[in-house]
Amino acid sequence: QQPVQSPQAVILREGEDAVINCSSSKALYSVHWYRQKHGEAPVFLMILLKGGEQKGHEKISASFNEKKQQSSLYLTASQLSYSGTYFCGTESNNAGNMLTFGGGTRLMVKP
Amino acid sequence: ETGVTQTPRHLVMGMTNKKSLKCEQHLGHNAMYWYKQSAKKPLELMFVYNFKEQTENNSVPSRFSPECPNSSHLFLHLHTLQPEDSALYLCASSPNRGTDTQYFGPGTRLTVL
């Protein structure tokens, strides 16, 4: 069962903030976030392990709430370079399972 | 920058053709993956290889045939495809099978006429 991402698409002005959510019907062990720009390969952003940790990379951070079985990606003071499609990949247990990817959230940042 | 390359980048083929997609990784990884990415659909895992051995076949039709001659190279052989097989085919690699960080190639955009 793949995770559900919301919203499916979002349009921002440069400098605005956005939140992308990833929810699963299964208990999660880890969540991975990737960004894919049009015509390019998906690029790894960060991984969060259970324990409710938060991580950040410049002005992009994420949280993982294992009780709610969801993760959120926070984009602060968005830049034009943030445009792309964001995917979450989830691992439902620590048994070497494959990642299951969500449907993606298309983010467009306008000047 | 990516250490995973894919060729060709674009491919148009008829339903009776036979073609192959190639993936090469220069990262020293042990696991390699094929994904299918269709418009408005999640990434679909197709095959997984770990140390050249196939460990996952996600109920993929037999008209898709993978081959992994060594840990650095992965092929996807295509024959008698259908128009609904048109999609972006992505290759990825990771240090080991499972949920290690995956590094993706740029993909092959396949169109089946």
In DSSP terms, B111 is beta-bridged to: B12
Average pLDDT over residues A40-59: 79
Assess B97–A contact: CB distance below 8 Å, yes or no. yes
Q: Decide if A96 and B106 are in contact by the 8 Å CB cutoff.
A: no
Within 10 angstroms of residue A13's Cβ, the number of other Cβ atoms is 9
Contact B104, B31 (CB under 8 A): no
Instruction: Name every residue whose Cβ is closer than 8 Å to that of residue A86 and which is 6 or more positions away in sequence.
Output: A5, A20, A33, A34, A35, A36, A45, A73, A104, A105, A107
Contact across the interface for B98 and A32, Cβ inside 8 Å: no
B42/A44 CB distance under 8 A: no
Model confidence over B50-85: pLDDT tens digits?
888 888 888 899 999 999 999 999 999 999 999 999
Q: What is the mean pLDDT of residues B12-39?
A: 93
For residue A45, the chain B residue with the least C-alpha distance is B101
* DSSP code, position B84: G
Cβ of A2 and B97 within 8 Å? no
Let me know: does B106 contact B6? Beta carbons within 8 Å: yes
Distance CA B94, CA A42 (A): 13
**pLDDT average, residue stretch B2-15:** 92
User: Please, which pLDDT band fits residue B92 given cuts at 50, 70 and 90?
Assistant: very high
CB neighbourhood size of A79 (10 A): 15
Candidates B47, B99, B101: best to mutate against A (most CBs of A within 10 A) is B99
Give the β-pairing of A70-75 and A60-65. antiparallel
The pLDDT value recorded for residue A1 is: 76
- Which of B2, B98, B101 is closest, CB to CB, to A97? B98
Q: State the average pLDDT for chain B.
A: 91
Strand partners, B81: none
- Answer yes or no: do A91 and B99 touch at CB < 8 A: yes
Q: Tell me: the pLDDT tens digits for B95-110? A: 987 767 899 999 999 9
* Mean pLDDT (whole number) for A82-92: 92
Cβ pair B102:A44 closer than 8 A: yes
In A, which residues are within 8 Å of B4 by CB distance? Answer: 41
Q: How many helices (H) and strands (E) does chain A have?
A: 0, 11
Residue written as token pair 């590094």: B103
Tokens of A76: 């602060």
Of B56, B90, B97, the CB nearest to A41: B90
The answer to whether the CB of A32 falls within 8 A of the CB of B99 is yes
A4, A33, A88, A99, best to mutate vs chain B, most B CBs in 10 Å:
A99
| CB distance A89 to A98 below 8 Å | no
Residues of chain A contacting B105 with CB distance shorter than 8 Å: 41
Alpha helical stretches, state H, chain B? none
Q: In chain A, which residues have their Cβ closer than 8 Å to the Cβ of B41?
A: 103
Lowest mean pLDDT among A53-62, B37-46, B85-94: A53-62
According to DSSP, the residues that pair with B44 across neighbouring strands are: B36
